[in-house]
Amino acid sequence: MHEKLQTTQTIAAAASDAGCLIAVYTTPIQRGVHDDFITSLKSELNEVVSRPFADAALGFCIELSRYRKRTVAITQGDGLRQASAMLGLGIACEVPMVIVHIQSGAPAAPLERPGGDGEIIAAGHMTAGSLPFPVLIAYGAKSGYRLVHQAYELSEQIRTPTVILCSPQILHDKSSIDRVAGSKSIDSSKNAFDRGRQEGQSNNSSDDASFHFVDEEDVGPAAIEKRIAHLRGKFISHEKSLILVDDDVDKGADCLVISLGATVMPAREAVKYTRGLGARVSHIALSAIWPVPSRAIRAAITDHVQRVVVAELNTGLYVKEVQKLLPETKIESVTRYDGEPMSSDAIVQHILVAACG
C-alpha cells in the first residue's frame, strides 16, 4: 500500500518510520508553514508538545534522550541560534538527537513570505567552541524523507545532535513521494545508548544514559583538551558517512555546478538544458554541508574543469567555503535573496559563459 505525501508531511512521516515518538516545537514565526508542519507531526507521532523557546525545546529532547527516546525538535527563524547553549551541551555530552530547522527569510523578504536558504554559515558554527556536528540540508520531498532517516543514523552512529535545514520554499513544494506503510530504514531496537556502552564511546558508567557529563576530574586543561580532541576526532573517523552528495559528473566537463537546498532543482534543470546545447557540465547537489564535504567537492573537479558555479538562495554564503577549498579555481556565485525562487535561467547563463571560455 502506497501513500502520497507532500513535502511538509515527509519529514513527519520519516520521523515516525524511524521510530521517533515525540516532537517538540517552538512558537511559530511563519504561520502557514508552521501550521502545516505541526498538523503533519500530530498525524504521525504519539505526542507533539510545544515550548516557548528553542533552548527549552532542545533541553526537553536532551532529557528524553537520556531515557532512550527518539525525538525530533522543530525550530525556526532565530531559534537555532537561541538554542546554541543547549546544542553545545548535546554535542559535549554526545547526545543523539535530531533537530529540523526551518530557515529564515532573505534580508529583503517579509517574514510571512517563503524564505531562502539562510543560516548556512551560522548553522555550522553555532556553538561557542565551534565544535563539529552534522548539518544536512533538504531540497524537496524525497530528499527530506531520506535525510531524516540518515540524520537519526548519523546522530546515533557518531553520538551527536544532527541538524536538518529546510527552506520554507521546499516545505511548500508540491512534489510527493511514495511511502511504504510501516517501513523502517533504522532498527530502533538497537538504540545508540546500548551501542555506545558496548563500543566504549563514553566513560560514564551510569546506567541512566551513558552520556558523558563533566565531573570534578574533567575540568583540568589536559582533560578538556583530551575531550575536545575526542569530539573532533570522531568526525574524522566517520568522514565517509558524512559525505551525502548526489553527483552527476561528466569527466570531460569544463564547468561544475554546486547546489544546495532550494537551488538543487533549478540547477538540475539548468544542467539538463545546457547539456542539450552541447555544453560539458557536471553537477553535485550537497545534502550534508557541515562538516564541509571537501573530498566529494574535490573529486568533482575533473581534469578539464575551469570554472565552478555555486548556486544559493541567499546572499552568497557557502560559496566562501568553496573558495577556501579550491583557491586555484575560478569560482562564480549565483544568488537570489528577494524571497522569490531561483530560476534555472540564471544558472544557465553562468554555465554557458563557462562553456564559451
CA atoms within 13 A on the CB side of 170: 29
All three cell numbers of 181:
506503510
CATH of domain 2-180: 3.40.50.970
Would you kindly state where each structural domain of the chain is located, as residue ranges?
2-180, 247-355
**Short-list 219, 200, 218, CA closest to 210:** 200
All three cell numbers of 193:
545508548
Distance in angstroms (rounded) separating the CA atoms of residues 112 and 30 = 5
Q: What is the reported pLDDT for 69?
A: 84
Is the separation of the CB atoms in 191 and 46 below 8 Å? Answer: no
- State what percent of residues in the chain have pLDDT above 70: 79
**Regions of the chain short of the pLDDT cut 50:** 1, 106-114, 181-210
The letter for the amino acid at 202 is S
Q: What is the reported pLDDT for 196?
A: 43
Q: What is the reported pLDDT for 32?
A: 64
Distance in angstroms (rounded) separating the CA atoms of residues 105 and 108 = 8
Contacts of 240 (CB under 8 A, 6+ apart): none
Q: What is the reported pLDDT for 28?
A: 62
Please give the angle made by the CA atoms of 77, 42 and 62, to the nearest 5 degrees: 60
The letter for the amino acid at 233 is G
Q: Can you list the alpha helix ranges (DSSP code H) found in the chain? A: 7-17, 31-44, 54-66, 79-82, 84-92, 120-124, 141-158, 168-171, 192-199, 221-237, 264-276, 294-299, 319-325, 344-355
CATH value of 247-355 in 2.130.10.10, 1.10.10.10, 3.30.450.20, 3.40.50.920: 3.40.50.920
Does 2-180 match 247-355 in CATH topology? yes
